[in-house]
Structure 1
């Protein structure tokens, strides 16, 4: 099993709305595909800056082929939606990890 993690750097004034948006729109949309499962949103404490907050959104995914299928079918569209809503107030970068234990 793999973990698909996206770390988001969000301007402090948009952090609360971002988490609400993830919970109310993004996560329910992703769950419709069934390819990414068991979402977790985490606040990152080790990179605290005065004008921003960092969050991690993690999903379980069976393999990289399933992730690629999701990304081309749905992921790119959802990222475009995120940019429409939050514009340049958010930066995200993905990491794909393998569960060893």
Structure 2
């Protein structure tokens, strides 16, 4: 089991709308294929800045092959949509983690 984590740095004025968009658009579309499961959104407290907020969106995924298939099929389109909506007000990066216990 792997965890696909996306960490986002969001301008403070767009944080609420970003979370709404994740819940109403991104997560349902990401789960549609059945390859990404059990989404969780976390607020990151350790890197808090006055003008922004950081969030982590995590999904369970079977293996890196499944993740690659999802990313080339749906993930790239969702990222493009996010960039159209939020432009440079959201910056993100992915991390792939393995569950040990």
* TM-score (ref. length: structure 1): 0.99
Alpha-carbon offset, residue 86 of structure 1:
0.1
Alignment of 1:56-75 (within 5 A): 56-75=56-75
| Structure 2 match to 1:76 | 76
Alignment of 1:90-101 (within 5 A): 90-101=90-101
* TM-score (ref. length: structure 2): 0.99
| Structure 2 match to 1:5 | 5
Distance (Å, rounded) in 2 between the aligned partners of 1:88 and 1:35: 28
Query: How many residue pairs align between the two structures?
Result: 101
Cα deviation per residue 1:10-29 (whole Å; 9 max; x = unaligned)?
00000000000000000000
Distance (Å, rounded) in 1 between the aligned partners of 2:7 and 2:60: 15
Alpha-carbon offset, residue 94 of structure 1:
0.2
Alpha-carbon offset, residue 41 of structure 1:
0.2
